[in-house]
Amino acid sequence: MTAFSFNKLVIFGVGLIGGSLARALRERQPEQAGQRGTVIGVGRSVSSVERARELGVIDSFAAIGDDAQLRDALAGADIVLLAAPVAQTQPLLTRIAPFLDDATIVTDAGSTKSDVVTAARAALGPRINQFVPGHPIAGRESSGVEAALPELYAGRNVVLCPLPENSPADVARIEAMWLATGAVVRQMSVEQHDRVLASVSHLPHVLSFALVEQILEAPDADLKFSFAAGGFRDFTRIAASSPEMWRDICVANRAALLEELDAYTAVLARLRAAIEAGDGAALEAAFARSRKARTEWQERGGKAAAGASPSK
């Protein structure tokens, strides 16, 4: 695990993602020469981050609407993490831009990147070089700072999508931060990130929500839910995720997500045709291919990509 130290880390949105980063850097890292970096949480209200301090996840907090508190929080910050819904990226960056030190690196944890980069360019203008887009691919169905875990990122992929304006030193600094949590850091272009995540993250969430929605609309929904067991639980686990967050992700990445939905619909059509025709051989062949791929993925740990190097 890479050693990492910092003087001040400011987190906007101290929930599962931001809180887990803070806990990982605190609990998985030895103190450097007796020094411990300060972690400040910023929320829309004091009450939203007060719980994080009570739990010891952050040292202090500030309300985003208070100029004096925000200025103090950002003064001398090494790194700022935006761990808020992607639709809030531009308003947040616009709000903090006047208070950012020139040496502060800003990064994010958003599940989409094209819209985030567009928002960052609009908000930061010539200071876009200070923004290093990122996405930790980890989560739980539970949300909030109470769900934060110091080991959440261990063995998980974190994607960085460096911009042409970013300095290699700033990208390396953000990479070192995530490596310190136990994550595997890889680099992709913004476009590649959104295409890949639409397939393996955004589409599964839509399908999970859709299955629950389908049963809810049935006249015998209560009866069906009463017989739901392990398969239903496993398939729909992620439907317990934040509706606000997934609303924003679906809208932000709609072009790539629609392509994946169309491709998935085509596969469903082939399976439907095989079922209608009673073509057991075609069904078994498709199921066998899927089982083999799923087993191989699981044997790799089901986390970071096989053979992944610390960075691409």
Q: How confident is the model at residue 147 (pLDDT cuts 50, 70, 90)?
A: confident
Residue 92, pLDDT > 90, answer yes
pLDDT computed for residue 31 by the predictor: 55
How many CA atoms, within 13 angstroms, populate the side-chain half-sphere of residue 274?
Answer: 15
How much is the pTM?
0.86
Separation of alpha carbons 109 and 122, rounded Å: 18
Using pLDDT thresholds of 50, 70 and 90, give the confidence band for residue 30. Answer: low
- Position 113 scores a pLDDT of 97
Task: Give the pair of three-digit tokens for residue 52.
Answer: 């994080």
Q: Cα separation of 28 and 148, whole Å?
A: 14
Question: 114 with 249: CB under 8 angstroms?
Answer: no
Kindly report the backbone phi and psi dihedral angles of residue 218, in degrees, each rounded to the nearest multiple of 5, phi listed first: -75, 145
d(CA 108, CA 128) in angstroms, rounded, equals: 13
Work out the number of other CB atoms within 10 angstroms of the CB of residue 252. Answer: 25
Task: Reply yes or no on whether the pLDDT at 302 is more than 70.
Answer: no
At a CB cut-off of 8 Å and minimum separation 6, what does 194 contact?
A: 112, 113, 114, 253, 256
Local confidence band at 29 (pLDDT 50, 70, 90 cut-offs): low
Q: How far apart are CA 75 and CA 267, in angstroms?
A: 53
User: Does the pLDDT at position 32 exceed 70?
Assistant: no
Query: For the chain, first and last CA: distance in Å?
Result: 18
The kind and range of the H/E element at 63 are: strand 60-63
Q: Is the pLDDT of residue 268 over 90?
A: yes
Average pLDDT along the chain: 91
- Determine contact, residues 264/204, Cβ cutoff 8 Å: no
Beta pairing class for 134-136 and 157-160: antiparallel
Domains and their CATH numbers in the chain? 8-188 (3.40.50.720), 194-299 (1.10.3660.10)
